[in-house]
Amino acid sequence: MSYEYRSTVDYFFGTLLNAAAISDTDLSAAAFTALDADFSSGTPGKYLPLELHDPSQGIFEVVWVVGHAAGSQTVTVIRGREGTPPRAWNAGTQVVCAPTAGRDALAALASTALPADAHIGHRVARTNKADVVERGAGVWGPSTGVAVASDVGPRRNGGSAPDGSVILMRGGHRTGTTGANGIITISHPVAFPNATIATTVSIVSTGVPAVITIAAETASTISVAFYAISTGANVGSGVAVSFQYLSIGY
């Protein structure tokens, strides 16, 4: 089954028309007639979380609606979701659609506790990594930036971005003339907050057949060096070159 998209309905509530045994997967309520008819456990899957609860006993169960015919009083559900046990419920049991702490708020979990049935857009603060990840199509990725800190590095000096760092990108297409030692130094449009981790470059065109290397990196600049293929020496100053680059940093 697939649970990519989590739906919601504002101010939705009702009561069960019939009792529901623990094993029942069809529930009925007059309020269900107003629900959408596009829920599915297939791919892509869209579901609606509902809470069955008894305030007098302080007990509840989260169910996921995965099927509903337009205008019907009956929905097909998956029972006992989000860590709640399936229970037997009497007719008249209250049913509401309300946010849950584990799925609709920014949950705080260790990396090993990320739910396997998370929906697209589900965000979690990872307590062992000091970052926030978000569920995409079958994968957890950074909620901000382009990667989580532990997935990149190390830097040229051997250091790595600390946990919790926001990994960012800079890049573009540059044309210029080499200076001393065949080097062009360029500034990132916006400096990285801390440091450049790594840069990749490629030549688009050059006045002298050459290879390109990264001579130095800072949070705000990269220095690109050009070496003549014929001699292995730097091309010297005054050589017109065009290149493109991509840097990651934090």
- Mean of pLDDT values over 214-225: 95
Question: Mean of the per-residue pLDDT values for the chain?
Answer: 94
pLDDT of residue 2: 80
Q: What is the spatial distance between Cα 227 and Cα 181, in angstroms, rounded to a whole number?
A: 9
- Mean of pLDDT values over 199-215: 93
Q: What is the spatial distance between Cα 80 and Cα 99, in angstroms, rounded to a whole number?
A: 16
pLDDT of residue 223: 96
HEC profile for the chain?
CCCCEECCCCCCEEECCCCECCCCCEEECHHHHHCCCCCECCCCCEEEEEEEEECCCCEEEEEEEEEECCCCCEEEEEEEECCCCCCCECCCCEEECCCCCCCCCCEEECHHHCCCCCCCCCEEEECCCCEEEEECCCCEEECCCCCCHHHCCCCCCCCCCCCCCCCEEEEEEEEEECCHHHEEEEECCCCCCCCEEEEEEEEEEECCCEEEEEEEECCCEEEEEEEECCCCCECCCCCEEEEEEEEEEC
Neighbours of 149 (CB within 10 A): 21
pLDDT of residue 44: 81
Is pTM beyond 0.85? Reply is no
Assess contact for 96 and 49: CB atoms under 8 A.
Answer: no
pLDDT of residue 187: 95
For 99-129, write each residue's pLDDT tens digit: 999 999 999 999 999 999 999 999 999 999 9
pLDDT of residue 144: 87
Q: Is the pLDDT of residue 134 over 70?
A: yes
Domains of the chain: 5-96 (2.40.10), 107-144 (no CATH), 168-249 (2.60.40.3940)
Neighbours of 8 (CB within 10 A): 11
Q: Is the pLDDT of residue 42 over 90?
A: no
Q: Is the pLDDT of residue 1 over 80?
A: no
Give the confidence band of 3 by pLDDT, cuts at 50, 70, 90: confident
For 143-175, write each residue's pLDDT tens digit: 988 998 988 989 888 888 998 898 999 999 999
How many CA atoms lie within 13 Å of 129's alpha carbon, on the beta-carbon side?
23
For 59-106, write each residue's pLDDT tens digit: 999 999 999 999 999 999 999 999 999 999 999 999 999 999 999 999
Give the confidence band of 227 by pLDDT, cuts at 50, 70, 90: very high
pLDDT of residue 41: 86
Q: Which two tokens stand for residue 115?
A: 């739910």
